Amino acid sequence: MSGRHGIEVVELVREFPKGPRAVDGIDLHVAPGEIYGFLGPNGAGKSTTVLVLTTLLPLTSGSARVAGYDVATQGRYVRAEIGAALQEAALDPLLSAREHMRLQTTLHGLSRSDRKVRGEELLERVGLVEAADRRVGGYSGGMKRRLDLALALVHRPSILFLDEPTTGLDPQSRTALWDEVARLTREDGVTVFLTTQYLEEADALADRVGIIDRGRIVAEGTPQALKDEIGRPSVEIVPAQDGDHEALAAVLSRFGESVPALSQSVAVRLRGGESELAEVVRALDGAGISVSQLRLHAPTLDDVFLEKTGRSLEGAGSEHGGDESAG
Amino acid sequence: MSSSTDRGGSFVSVAHGVAWRNLHNHFSHPMYYIPSLVFPLLFFTAFTGALGALTDLPGFEFEAGYEGFQYVFVLIQSAAFGGVFTGFAIARDFETGFARRLLLAAPNRQGIIAGYALAALGRWVFTALVVTGVAFAAGMTMPGGVGVAGLYALALLVNGAGILFASGVAMRMRTVQAGPLMQTPVFLALFLAPVYVPLAVLDGWIETVARFNPFTAFLEAGRGFLVGRPTTVGLAFGLAVALLVLFGWWAHRGLRSAESAG
Ligand SMILES: Nc1ncnc2c1ncn2[C@@H]1O[C@H](COP(=O)(O)OP(=O)(O)O)[C@@H](O)[C@H]1O
Ligand SMILES: [Mg+2]
């Protein structure tokens, strides 16, 4: 066994020949048994990081140890300790799930009897027993992801890499996969390194989150700490009379900087946090402004991303972008 | 620490897994195994049918019949092209990303090449059995008796060299567009050898090219084994082993190139 080793990355750089510095000097420490969420828009460098850490791509400079082994010089030991489900599930459309299982258990050198038992156990675990003899070519996206996950677990890895495991899945499949990942950590003590473009995913699943943008980590911590640190709540108020709009804005500006809101309302990020809400209400009262609606918005990881990069996470990707950033 | 290597599987288990998957795909899909049979059989029947009368030519005498003469070519040709098809399979696996599953699971990545090679061998043995059956049915004889084992040994080496050559190309290019790069050199080498008639009957520049073509030695030696009058044996085996070593190095470097490209 690996003992108690997680992932240690120091000043990691990966440059593509004639391409960008996809990973531009990152430091990472993932504790054993932890779920680490690597959050960032498209093109941020998430997959490149995963490929380096799983020994599929050499690093340009810096160092990385996974399960206590150096990825550059001890690749074979790293590979024995890790499981990975990459961004494009590497499946053969001509093979069935059961045949994939047979291949994977053979590659990992399980004995003939273990192969059968372990394969069936994992197919059961991800709910693919009924479809197990059908060719994977006809599977849905969710089924492929589940199979890929099951295959990654064949040799009981101590560290699991999941590169955007829920991208393109419907909400049910997504939560089913979250449950499975949470269970792996809880019951088997597996360390999970998970990349995602989804805030909710990092928020719901990760013990700690690293936010990556353009190859650099811009923020790191527990989801709550990150939100507490930067993302103070904002208050959004709709005045009862349209004419009060400007007066309302003037009063609110005393409590924090304004943030975008619907046209009939005014919103500010509360400098002093939630506790200032009573103060705000008293001030409005004093100014004779009556309120039709008042909403308090809890901070999100998107606020964190916005704060650190000046852009919204939704639509910040280098390939896709723009169309989602409104609102 | 010592137990961690056990979990990744050995050279043998990796080779076993890769070979099983490729053979399984090949034989459970007619779209794969039919072409690998049709082409050699087509060569065989086309040439023996149309050119069988050549045996009347002055300068042509071959105790095993024109069928036997062509059988040797078809056997060597299918061995070489069997290797090329393996290159296609490897290139396809890199293009689709499936190769990453193998690279990730294999502590010893040489086992991956060994697996593809074993599968190619299995496929070729099947083709060779069918071609041999057809040749016998068409009237081929084996005056050389058990000496014909030399022919099969030679074909095996050619098969291995073809596999290593094509997988070296495939792992450098990592796309099925590399197909022509694997196919064309083998095709040219094969058809610039004394395919239809013996070297002695060839003329002009073809004769010059054929004289320096390793396939000439393979075919002449192979035909010698078939009729029981071994010729150019040392040269043929020497060349085959040299190609095997050269392309072994080429494939090894190709694997390195694939590893550093992700
Ligand atoms: N093989 C490659 N060659 C050149 N550039 C690449 C390659 N792979 C990724 N990149 C580039 O590196 C950057 C990071 O990509 P990637 O790690 O895939 O991001 P993410 O997974 O966060 O979407 C992008 O600009 C991408 O275009
Ligand atoms: Mg990615």
- Region A320-324 average pLDDT: 36
Q: Which residues of A touch B24 (CB under 8 A)?
A: 95, 99
**Ligand 2 centroid to A303 CA: how many Å?**
22
Determine the Cα–Cα distance for residues B225 and B246; give it in Å rounded to an integer: 25
* pLDDT, tens only, A166-222: 988 888 888 989 999 999 999 999 999 999 988 889 888 999 999 999 999 999 999
Q: Report strand pairing: A191-196 vs A69-70.
A: unpaired
Residues 6+ apart with CB under 8 A from B138: B44, B45, B48, B67
CA-nearest residue for atom 26, ligand 1, is A43
Number of Cβ pairs < 8 A linking chain A and chain B: 99
Low-confidence ranges of chain B (pLDDT < 70): 1-8, 47-61, 196-202, 262
* ipTM computed for the complex: 0.85
Pick the CATH number of A7-93+154-221 from 3.40.50.300, 1.10.10.10, 2.40.50.140, 3.30.43.10: 3.40.50.300
What's the confidence (pLDDT) of residue B194?
75
Residue A13: the pLDDT is 97
- pLDDT for the residue B52: 58
Q: Which residue of A has its CA nearest to B95?
A: A90
Neighbours of ion ligand 2 (CB under 5 A): A 46-47, 87
Average pLDDT over every residue of A11-22 = 91
- The CATH homologous superfamily to which domain A231-309 belongs is YebC, transcriptional regulation domain (3.30.70.980)
**Mean of pLDDT over chain A:** 88
| pLDDT on residue A301 | 75
- Region A65-81: mean pLDDT is 94
Structure tokens at A256: 């924090």
Short-list A25, A62, A10, A41, CA closest to A213: A41
> Residue B18's closest CA among B92, B118, B97, B94?
B118
**Which one of A90, A91, A103 has the shortest CB-CB distance to B17?**
A103
pLDDT at residue B51, as a whole number: 59
The set of residues, in sequence order, having a beta carbon less than 8 Å from that of A139 and lying 6+ positions away, is A91, A97, A131, A147
Q: Which helix (H) or strand (E) holds B88?
A: helix B65-96
User: Across chain B, what does the average pLDDT equal?
Assistant: 86
> Under a CB-based contact definition with an 8 Å cutoff, are residues B76 and B215 in contact?
yes
pLDDT for A70 beyond 60:
yes
